[in-house]
């Protein structure tokens, strides 16, 4: 018997001490502990097992046989970061930063088992691998399954999804982003068509409301102005999730107080070039970015920032993964217009960022008044350090330190 239920969402998760080597059935860490559904979390109960609604949004794009196998996997869906499909290769889950191969009985194998035969080359080795995986019960993705998955995720209309596929990804209901790779048809420097898709990466959307609580106190001046903020993080360490919650809190008004009064919410403009922040589906944001937030979806950052200043008059502009010279020029334009900025960038340290040709100049100029470094020590989303615009340490490894002169 299947019974539909609804339960109140849990309180915002806190940082836990989960290690990278913990098996996927354990409790998750900061950025994988909450559903992206607002207010309530819906689930269906099958023989006493609770299945989250967000899980169904992802499973419905798979062929029936793969859907059945994935439905038997016992891993906490809130911990699943990615599902990877490659033609004639194992079906993989990425959970808590670790890689697991899916087996035909719904169990998981750590990593991709490789046959002991090492002296076979070319097609012979591929055939040996497939036979070995079949004997081990590892699920491999066939060409027919790949084709059917593409049809499902495009709602059986490749033509309608053509524009998104040219960008290398498509966003489905629930805000889950599906990256694709295969044969491309180009005209000059422009990708005209993506065909023969043989590789799929499903990035499972997780919105964690409240994950920015610990940093919001540092992001406002004494008079309540939002300070230009840069989040620095290696891949898969939670920078987009943190930025998403910063946007929501700036828009709605954070719990942070100045002069004994709560700071009010302000208008925020978001340039969501890859549909990762708002995760718009048919123009409607699937993630909660706040009541005063306007979103430019699938728009280049450099153009979108200037468009928002001219058209929506935001007080804060937010963008994800800056880096190009064009991005830096747009940021300077935004600053000169009196808007505050929240942005992210790939990097493992402040020194890495300062060596980047374009962004490094902004750092040296003191353009960012707050810089937050994330790492994955112990748990994704761990806040390692917070600096001011002069490189002075405001926060380090969970303990507040007196500001000391930096090297910027």
Question: Mind listing the pLDDT tens digit for each residue in 360-375?
Answer: 989 988 999 999 999 8
Lowest mean pLDDT segment, chosen from 75-84, 240-249, 295-304: 75-84
Q: Tokens standing for 7?
A: 């339960």
Question: How would you class 92 by CB atoms within 10 Å of its CB: exposed for 0-12, middle for 13-18, buried for 19 or more?
Answer: buried
Indicate the DSSP class of residue 398: T
Rounded average pLDDT over 148-169:
82
Rounded average pLDDT over 380-396:
89
Q: What confidence tens digit (pLDDT) does each residue in 313-356 have?
A: 999 999 999 988 999 999 999 999 999 999 999 999 999 899 88
For residue 275, give every residue at least 6 positions away whose Cβ sits within 8 Å of its Cβ, in sequence order, or none.
169, 171, 175, 177, 297, 298
Longest pairwise C-alpha distance within the chain: 72
pLDDT over 80 (residue 123): no
pLDDT at 27: 30
User: Cα torsion at 83, 87, 90, 92 (round to 10°)?
Assistant: -10
Q: How confident is the model at residue 276 (pLDDT cuts 50, 70, 90)?
A: confident
| β-bridge partners, 193 | 185
- Please give the sequence-ordered ranges of beta strands (E in DSSP) within 62-176, or none if there are none: 80-86, 92-95, 98-102, 108-110, 169-171
pLDDT at 39: 28
Q: Which of 186, 152, 155, 156 is nearest to 168 (CA)?
A: 186
pLDDT at 120: 57
pLDDT at 78: 77
Q: Could you tell me how many helices (H) and strands (E) the chain has, helices first? A: 11, 22
pLDDT greater at residue 5 or residue 295:
295
For residue 204, give every residue at least 6 positions away whose Cβ sits within 8 Å of its Cβ, in sequence order, or none.
54, 58, 77, 80, 81, 82, 83, 176
Indicate the DSSP class of residue 227: P
pLDDT over 60 (residue 399): no
Average per-residue pLDDT for the chain: 80
Rounded to two decimals, what is the model's pTM? 0.73
Q: What confidence tens digit (pLDDT) does each residue in 19-30 have?
A: 333 333 333 333
Q: How confident is the model at residue 87 (pLDDT cuts 50, 70, 90)?
A: very high
Q: Tokens standing for 146?
A: 């790949």
Q: Which of 108, 105, 114 is nearest to 94 (CA)?
A: 108
Does the structural domain 213-396 have CATH classification 3.40.50.300?
A: yes
pLDDT over 60 (residue 65): yes
pLDDT at 216: 94
> Over pLDDT 70: what percentage of the chain?
80
The alpha helices in 300-389, defined as continuous H runs, are 301-311, 325-336, 350-354, 359-365
Q: How confident is the model at residue 244 (pLDDT cuts 50, 70, 90)?
A: very high
Helix orientation angle between 64-72 and 143-153, rounded to the nearest 10 degrees: 90
Cα separation, 42 vs 131, whole angstroms: 41
| β-bridge partners, 49 | 46
| β-bridge partners, 150 | none
pLDDT greater at residue 219 or residue 400:
219
pLDDT over 50 (residue 45): no
Cα separation, 336 vs 330, whole angstroms: 10
Cα separation, 45 vs 161, whole angstroms: 34
Question: How would you class 306 by CB atoms within 10 Å of its CB: exposed for 0-12, middle for 13-18, buried for 19 or more?
Answer: middle
pLDDT over 60 (residue 404): no
| SS3 category, 104 | coil
Say how far residue 54 (Cα) sits from the centre of its chain: 15
pLDDT at 35: 31
pLDDT at 88: 93
Q: What confidence tens digit (pLDDT) does each residue in 132-144 have?
A: 899 999 999 999 9
Rounded average pLDDT over 201-218:
89
Cα separation, 289 vs 246, whole angstroms: 9
Helix orientation angle between 325-336 and 301-311, rounded to the nearest 10 degrees: 20
pLDDT over 90 (residue 400): no
Please report the sign of the dihedral spanned by the C-alpha atoms of residue 255, residue 259, residue 265, residue 270: negative
Q: Tokens standing for 22?
A: 């913990």
Cα separation, 402 vs 399, whole angstroms: 10
What does the DSSP assignment read for 69-84? HHHH--S-GGGEEEEE
pLDDT at 378: 62
Q: Tokens standing for 224?
A: 């309540």
Where do the structural domains in the chain lie, given as residue ranges?
52-203, 213-396
pLDDT over 50 (residue 128): yes
């Amino acid at each position: 018997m299947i019974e539909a239920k609804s339960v109140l969402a849990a309180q915002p998760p806190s940082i836990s001490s989960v290690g990278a080597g913990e098996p996927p059935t354990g409790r998750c860490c900061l950025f994988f502990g909450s559903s992206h559904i607002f207010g309530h979390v819906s689930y269906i109960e099958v023989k006493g097992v609770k299945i989250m609604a967000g899980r169904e949004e992802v499973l419905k794009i798979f062929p029936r046989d793969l859907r059945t196998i994935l439905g038997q996997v016992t891993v906490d869906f809130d911990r699943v970061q990615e599902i990877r499909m490659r033609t004639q290769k194992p079906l993989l889950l990425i959970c808590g930063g670790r890689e697991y191969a899916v087996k035909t009985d719904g169990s998981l194998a750590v990593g991709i088992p490789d046959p002991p035969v090492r002296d076979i080359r070319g097609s012979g080795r591929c055939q040996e691998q497939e036979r070995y995986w079949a004997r081990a019960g590892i699920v491999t993705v066939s060409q027919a399954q790949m084709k059917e998955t593409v049809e499902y995720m495009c709602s059986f209309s490749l033509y309608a999804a053509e524009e998104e596929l040219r960008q290398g990804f498509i966003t489905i209901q629930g805000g889950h982003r599906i990256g694709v790779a295969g044969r491309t048809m180009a005209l000059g420097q422009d990708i005209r068509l993506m065909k023969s898709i043989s590789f799929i990466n499903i990035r499972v959307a997780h919105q964690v409301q409240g994950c920015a609580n610990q940093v919001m106190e540092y992001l406002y001046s004494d008079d309540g102005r939002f300070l230009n903020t840069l989040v620095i993080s290696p891949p898969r360490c939670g920078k987009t999730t943190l930025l998403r919650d910063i946007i929501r809190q700036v828009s709605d008004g954070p719990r942070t107080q100045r002069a004994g009064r709560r700071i009010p919410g302000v208008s925020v403009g978001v340039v969501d070039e890859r549909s990762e922040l708002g995760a718009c589906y048919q123009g409607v944001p699937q993630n909660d970015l706040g009541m005063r937030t306007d979103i430019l979806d699938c728009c280049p950052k450099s153009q979108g920032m200037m468009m928002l200043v001219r058209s929506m008059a935001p007080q804060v502009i937010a963008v994800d993964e800056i880096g190009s010279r064009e991005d830096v020029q747009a940021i300077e334009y935004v600053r000169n217009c009196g808007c505050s900025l929240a942005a992210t960038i790939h990097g493992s340290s402040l020194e890495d960022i300062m060596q980047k040709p374009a962004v490094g100049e902004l750092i040296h100029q003191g353009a960012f008044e707050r810089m937050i470094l994330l790492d994955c020590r112990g748990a994704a989303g761990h806040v390692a350090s917070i600096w001011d615009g002069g490189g002075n340490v405001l926060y380090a490894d969970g303990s507040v330190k007196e500001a000391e002169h930096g090297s910027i």
